[in-house]
Structure 1
Amino acid sequence: MLGFLIWLCLFILCWPLAIFALLLYPLCWLITLPFRVLGIAVDGVFELLRAIVMLPARLLGGGR
């Protein structure tokens, strides 16, 4: 009986938080989307720089 009462209190207290999280998640995803795109672009620039720096070693036979 005590377990049921604890479960009931938890249900009453947590369902507003669950609904709030469901509504807030898409907004947070939209806010972080530009940072993800920027991260992909920066990663691409670093890969290009790495390829340029490693080109002489690959041409001389250092390869992978």
Structure 2
Amino acid sequence: MLTLLIWIFLLVFCWPLATMALLLYPVFWLLLLPFRIVGIAVDGVLELLRALVMLPARLLGGR
């Protein structure tokens, strides 16, 4: 929602910049997509490591 409000603000005060932002947004999204995928993978690995470290405590009845 904040992105939309910023874009509308740009459209009112500087429409060429708003148009350029609207056209370049998909390009930036595609460029950042691999970093999101890597972030999801790293998060999964860290959750797996956390589960392995906490496994003995869970087996002994801890929370």
**Bin of the TM-score, shorter chain as denominator length:** 0.7 to 0.9
Normalised TM-score (structure 2):
0.78
CA–CA distance in 2 between the matches of 1:53 and 1:18? 49
After superposition, the CA RMSD in angstroms is 1.6
TM value normalised by structure 1 = 0.77
CA distance in 2, matches of 1:40, 1:31: 16
Give the structure with higher Rg (CA).
1
Larger relative contact order (Cα-Cα within 8 Å, sequence gap ≥ 6): 2
| Runs of 4 or more consecutive aligned structure 1 residues displaced over 6 Å after TM superposition | none
Give the deviation of 1:14 after TM superposition: 0.9
Aligned residues: 53
Q: Which runs of 5+ in 1 are unaligned?
A: 1-10
Q: Structure 2: which 5+ residue stretches go unaligned?
A: 1-11
1:7-55 per-residue CA deviation (whole Å, 9 max, x = no partner) reads xxxx5x7111011000011100000000000000000000000000000
